[in-house]
Amino acid sequence: MRILINRTDAIGDTILTLPMAAMVKRAYPKAEIAFMVSASSADLFEHHSYVSQCYVVKRENFFSTLGQFFEILKDFKPDHYIYVGGSHIGSFAAFVKRVKFRGGLLSRLPSFLFLNKGIRQKRSYVEMHEAEYNLNLLKRFGLTYDHKDFLQYTPGITLKQEDIKEAKTSFTEMLLKADKKFSWDKNIIFIHPGMMGHTLNWPSRNYGRLITYLNKEMPGQNFYIISHTPSDEEYISTVRDELEESFRTSDLFQSVYFFNGAQKGLRYYMHILAQAAIFVGPSTGTTHLANALGVETVGIYSPIKVQSALRWKPFYSDKVKIVTPDVICGEPQKCVLQECPYYECMSKIEAKEVAVIVINLLVKMKNLKREK
């Protein structure tokens, strides 16, 4: 059995699709599973536990993209194709090449035209987690998903110890050159203010206020890594502005580092992220990545139904604390702005509230370490 899964969109979506591969591999140990992904997600698959091959699809014009999909089908020779998200050009290619089993999510028109084993799902109803929706797409394989088995189908992202060691050495040297007071013995707090799409985010200034509050309550104990990519500049500039006074009036500057995750690639970023004590971020791919790597996560989520934590929280529920504004949101799809009595509801989440959660997690982790 050779299964090709199309998930050519965002990192977080890809991470929540990986449990499908785990479920298939458990039922069919000899199955060969390959993923088609966007370039941003490719590094998730290096040394992967149960995905044998990863193909990167570059976003180009229709015919060029179609050519890429044809080449992938020719190379991998799948007998099963599953569409989960991203470009439907791959579904068209599988249709043209007469892949016998073409399953996955029936939603947009191309899925009804090109898939012959698809499953209709109303994900906007938000009846379950996104990973559970994905696992339920395997019914046409004769695989029935049971909620109690959820944690058995892990994303399976793998890091090698030798690679981690090398990345840590490089990162330490980089911070020392930047005149930072850094030690791996400190609590490393990763904060990622940026996000893509239209999901509501916590105001950027609050990420800066969070750092200031934590530094006041835990002076000298933490090192703060503010991670970002070039597209996050609007978020990062606001965080810098918020921290400017603290940088002038204290030594906090030496305990804060703005880490461009795109500079050395996702794999390098993952090696450093995995060393964090706690990660704080909104509903974005980096939050899912931190959680998949086993990092204690604080996720700040929108109350809007399709954006809610019920559907989009990270995979490991026991390693995530969800923070949502204390409002009754009746909007199923998007914010109605000034028409809503709770307009700018994300601002209602105070930096102190998130800081208390972080501090309590650190205390809990310290106590567990003592018990061991």
Residue 360 included in any domain: yes
> Within a domain: residue 157?
no
Structural domain ending residue among the three candidates 83, 117, 152? 152
Q: What are phi and psi of 81, to 5 degrees?
A: -120, 135
Assess contact for 32 and 3: CB atoms under 8 A: yes
* 14 close to 42: Cβ distance less than 8 angstroms: no
pLDDT at 249: 86
Residue 196's pLDDT band (boundaries 50, 70, 90)? confident
What pLDDT is stored for residue 370 in this prediction?
80
145 and 180 together in one domain: no
Higher pLDDT among residues 354 and 331, named by residue = 354
Q: What is the pTM of this model?
A: 0.95
User: Domain limits at 318?
Assistant: 162-371
Region 90-104: mean pLDDT is: 97
Within the chain, strands assigned E span 2-7, 32-37, 53-56, 80-85, 101-106, 117-120, 187-191, 222-228, 256-260, 278-282, 296-300, 320-323
Residue 236: the pLDDT is 95
Within a domain: residue 95? yes
Give yes or no for a contact between 289 and 181, defined as CB atoms under 8 angstroms apart: no
Domain boundary residue, one of 92, 127, 152: 152
Question: Each residue of 32-67: pLDDT tens digit?
Answer: 999 999 999 999 999 998 999 999 999 889 999 999
pLDDT for 172: 97
Q: Concatenated DSSP letters for 305-333? A: GGGSHHHHS-S-GGGEEEE--SS----SS
The verdict on 190 and 141 lying in the same domain is no
Q: How many domains does the chain have?
A: 2
Same domain, 349 and 201: yes
Going by C-alpha positions, the residue among 25, 37, 22, 36 that lies closest to residue 1 is: 25
Pairing relation of β-strands 320-323 and 2-7?
unpaired
Residues 204 and 131 in one domain: no
> Using 50, 70 and 90 to split pLDDT, how confident is the model at 197?
confident
pLDDT band for position 173 (cuts 50, 70, 90): very high
Residue 130 lies in a domain: yes
